[in-house]
Structure 1
Amino acid sequence: MLDAAMIEKCADPSLTPAIVEQFVQAAGSSDPLAVAVKAGGRLILVPKPRTPDEAMDLIRKYVGQAVVRVGITQVPAGIGVKDVSELKPDLVEACENLRLGTGMFAKVVRIVAKWYGNPTDRQVFPQIFEDAVYAWKTGEFEGVSVFRAKDPDVSVKLTVPPVAEQDADTDSAPASSKLKGSENGGPVGTAEMRIDLSRIGAK
């Protein structure tokens, strides 16, 4: 779905290609015309658009009445728009959707990273990424509307893929890293009880 050339051309430069790929995989869609509509936390079944015009008609119909997610990044449509006539077909164009979506996701990452105290420890990055994806899907983080919030004045660059592989056995690693390390087999002397406790703590 995403190739290196498209990521380089269209994605927000503050996100590495690995982060962009995992973001789209975790929160996006393989269909540039994908439109998802939710109201009251429930998914509304809508006809699958076959053309950009059909997709835009669907978006304009529901924006303002429901949460509408669009395209390969499932970007929220209508943020900051006062009238549906302001919505542009760029929303369903793959490159523009990727540019808009990754730009907004980068802001969400900065909001989450600021809450964490802007850590430099790479082992914290997977948790920041996971929280940012959750905030992207829900629209909120710690009671803040992430799409309408002001972009914090911080510089964050997640330099490793979100799935942490390094130092999985250290106590400072996030629970997800410890789980991965224990499932793949730790040092010869690792006790089974430690593995069981880390699983319980990760729930």
Structure 2
Amino acid sequence: MLDAALIKECADPSLKPAIVEQFVAAAGSTDPLAVTVKSGGRLILVPKATSADEAMAIVRQYAGRAVVRVGLTQFPAGVGVKEPADLKPDLVDACQNLRKGTAMFAKVLRIVLKWYGNPTSKDVFPQIFEDAVYAWKTGEFEGVSVFQEEDPGNSVTMETGTPPSEDTVNTDASPEGEKTESSEQSQSVGSAEMRIDLSRIGGK
């Protein structure tokens, strides 16, 4: 289980801690140095890294020629990077990997939720989460490359545990102007203001 302090400090704030834990449990790794390499759908056996340098050497060796996943969130190495040499060691830093991975997964969740028509019933969220995890593992959802796809942004809000309100799009108390300004100032993928709480999945 992920350390609560690590989640609080590093995970994307749009994801509740419970869903961060479930995401990493379903799609990630307990080892910050974990590197998984697949080619043609087949797993390629690589040496277990014992240091950040070793992990990055493996990543750079296969990036661009195979599907490489790294760290706690099994982040897809090479997304947005043109040359393997441009890959940064923060991929194997627990905090940075969790930050980047949860931000990207939040975007994937919003893409899946939008495809479902932005439902407000909490009953459909287990299926949405399952589809989002599958999309994270495969990189695709309904023919869309989720890692390159544009973020739907905070037009999507996921709130389970509360009944649909009269305002199902913006359940946050902040004024619309503040939300717009915040999303414009956001620099990282998936950091648009929103709350995702799927904590009731699996009885948690």
TM-score range, shorter chain: 0.7 to 0.9
Query: Does structure 1 residue 113 correspond to structure 2 residue 113?
Result: yes
Structure 2 Cα separation of the partners of residues 123 and 106 of structure 1: 19
Post-superposition Cα deviations, 1:64-123, rounded to whole Å, max 9, x if no partner, equal 000000001000000110111211100000000000000000000000000001111111
Kept in 2, the 8 Å contact 1:108–1:132? The answer is: yes
Residues in 1 aligned to 2:199 and 2:37: alpha-carbon distance in whole angstroms: 30
Matches within 5 A, 1:63-102: 63-102=63-102
Q: Over aligned residues, Cα RMSD in angstroms?
A: 1.4
With CA pairs under 8 Å and 6+ residues apart, which has the higher RCO, 1 or 2? 2
Determine the C-alpha separation between the residues in 1 that align with 2:200 and 2:63.
32
Cα–Cα, structure 1 residues 162 and 41, in superposed 2: closer, same or farther, change >3 Å? farther
- Residue identity over aligned pairs, in percent, reads 70
Aligned match of 2:198 in 160, 163, 166?
160
Superposition TM-score, scaled by structure 2 size: 0.78
Letter in 2 for 1:72: L
Structure 2 gap ranges (5+): 159-195
Q: Which runs of 5+ in 1 are unaligned?
A: 166-203
Amino acid at match of 2:157: V
Q: TM-score, normalised by structure 1?
A: 0.79
Pairwise mapping of residues 42-191 of structure 1 onto structure 2 (< 5 A)? 42-153=42-153, 154-157=155-158, 158-161=196-199, 163=201
Letter in 2 for 1:143: G
Q: Which has the larger radius of gyration?
A: 1
Q: Aligned pairs, how many? A: 166
Does structure 2 retain, via aligned residues, the 8 Å contact 1:139–1:146? yes
> CA–CA distance in 2 between the matches of 1:125 and 1:17?
16
- 1:200 aligned partner: none
Q: For residues 45 and 20 of structure 1, do their structure 2 counterparts lie closer, same or farther at Cα, with a shift above 3 Å needed? A: same
Which amino acid letter does the alignment assign opposite residue 136 of structure 2? Answer: W
Deviations 1:113-150 (A, max 9, x none): 00001111111111110000000001100010100111
Q: Distance in 2 between matches of 1:12 and 1:30?
A: 18
